[in-house]
């Protein structure tokens, strides 16, 4: 009896047999990433009165108070009425603050409640986990932005008609992603909610308020203009404002490049820390 020669087939070239209807993960676990993204979105949507509408109302109060106290009927900044000048800045400020609040909560809450394993055990790569967390934070930011835009559009004396929609979308995305990545870094580093609150009060808050939201940096002394240009939040606010009033304090192209590079750098840093399990894995 002649024996047939045996050939071994490498595992990488074997066909992927599976039962009908069985989910097979190829290169990217889109189903798992989408599930985590939906979970994070549903988490803040269940309390939308606190996570979307309350921040929108609070930011609208800034517009009303500063318009009455500092605006005046004839005051103009960058060639537009003062109310039209600060409205876009307040809008992107609210978006960035809420993107940070959302992304800085998930992993930190898991640490505090003992449910961090729910994020680390599912078959998700570090990049997929990061994509879901940041994507949900950006979604919350745009929900707050849309709520603010609708309220400001109905407010008398304020004009928020888009002049360059691409700038609104791009700088809104870059600004929200920037604080979302910072929020992920905060949730990895923080060990209690006080740590996250410290970043909010001493880093995010001052950087948003001192980035040209309520004033044009052209009126500042040269040294403070240089400090403002070193603040990445300035580029997000200036570019977002350009989308509405077609005027900006800085170069829109330079701002786009700066924000893109910073987001890539922060994404890589978040990925490296998640991969190493720094303060996440024993």
Mean pLDDT computed over every residue of the chain: 87
Contacts of 24 (CB under 8 A, 6+ apart): 16, 18
Q: What is the pLDDT of residue 95?
A: 95
* Report field, pTM of the whole predicted structure over 0.85: yes
pLDDT of 235 higher than 90 = yes
Residues 217 and 224: beta-carbon distance below 8 Å: yes
- Give CA–CA dist 263/102, Å, rounded: 17
pLDDT of 253 higher than 70 = yes
Residues 243 and 165: beta-carbon distance below 8 Å: yes
Q: What is the pLDDT of residue 7?
A: 40
Q: What is the pLDDT of residue 77?
A: 84
pLDDT band, residue 2 (cuts 50/70/90): very low
Q: What is the pLDDT of residue 78?
A: 84
> How much of the chain exceeds pLDDT 70, in percent?
89
- Give CA–CA dist 34/191, Å, rounded: 27
- The residue among 20 and 93 whose pLDDT is bigger is 93
pLDDT band, residue 107 (cuts 50/70/90): very high
Residues 239 and 252: beta-carbon distance below 8 Å: yes
- Give CA–CA dist 94/141, Å, rounded: 8
What Cα–Cα distance (Å) separates residue 85 from each residue in 82, 144, 213, 268?
Answer: 5, 19, 9, 35
pLDDT of 156 higher than 90 = no
pLDDT band, residue 23 (cuts 50/70/90): low
Lowest mean pLDDT among 60-69, 148-157, 185-194: 60-69
pLDDT of 242 higher than 90 = yes
Residue owning tokens 């559009």: 153
Contacts of 261 (CB under 8 A, 6+ apart): none
pLDDT band, residue 24 (cuts 50/70/90): low
pLDDT of 279 higher than 60 = yes
Task: Calculate mean pLDDT across residues 31-41.
Answer: 94
- Give CA–CA dist 281/274, Å, rounded: 9
């Amino acid at each position: 009896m002649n024996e047939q020669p045996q050939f071994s087939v490498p595992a990488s070239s074997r066909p992927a047999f599976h039962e009908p209807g069985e989910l097979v993960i190829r290169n990217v676990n889109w189903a798992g990433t989408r599930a985590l993204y939906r979970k994070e979105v549903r988490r803040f949507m269940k309390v939308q009165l606190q996570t979307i509408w309350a921040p929108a109302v609070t930011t609208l109060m800034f517009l009303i108070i500063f318009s009455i106290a500092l605006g005046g009927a004839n005051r103009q900044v960058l060639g537009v009425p003062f109310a039209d000048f600060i409205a876009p800045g307040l809008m992107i400020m609210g978006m960035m603050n809420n993107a940070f609040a959302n992304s800085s909560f998930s992993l930190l809450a898991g640490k505090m409640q003992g449910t961090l394993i729910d994020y680390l055990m599912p078959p998700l790569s570090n990049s997929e986990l990061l994509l879901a967390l940041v994507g949900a934070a950006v979604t919350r930011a745009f929900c707050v932005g849309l709520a603010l835009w609708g309220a400001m559009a109905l407010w008398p004396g304020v004009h928020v008609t888009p002049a360059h929609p691409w700038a609104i979308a791009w700088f809104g995305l870059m600004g929200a992603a920037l604080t979302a990545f910072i929020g992920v870094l905060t949730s990895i580093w923080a060990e209690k909610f006080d740590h996250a609150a410290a970043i909010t009060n001493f880093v995010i808050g001052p950087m948003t308020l001192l980035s040209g939201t309520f004033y044009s940096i052209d009126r500042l002394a040269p040294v403070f203009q240089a400090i403002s240009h070193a603040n990445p939040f300035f580029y997000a606010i200036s570019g977002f404002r350009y989308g509405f009033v077609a005027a900006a304090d800085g170069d829109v192209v330079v701002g786009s490049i700066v924000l893109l590079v910073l987001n890539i750098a922060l994404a890589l840093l978040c990925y490296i820390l998640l991969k190493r399990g720094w303060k996440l894995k024993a």
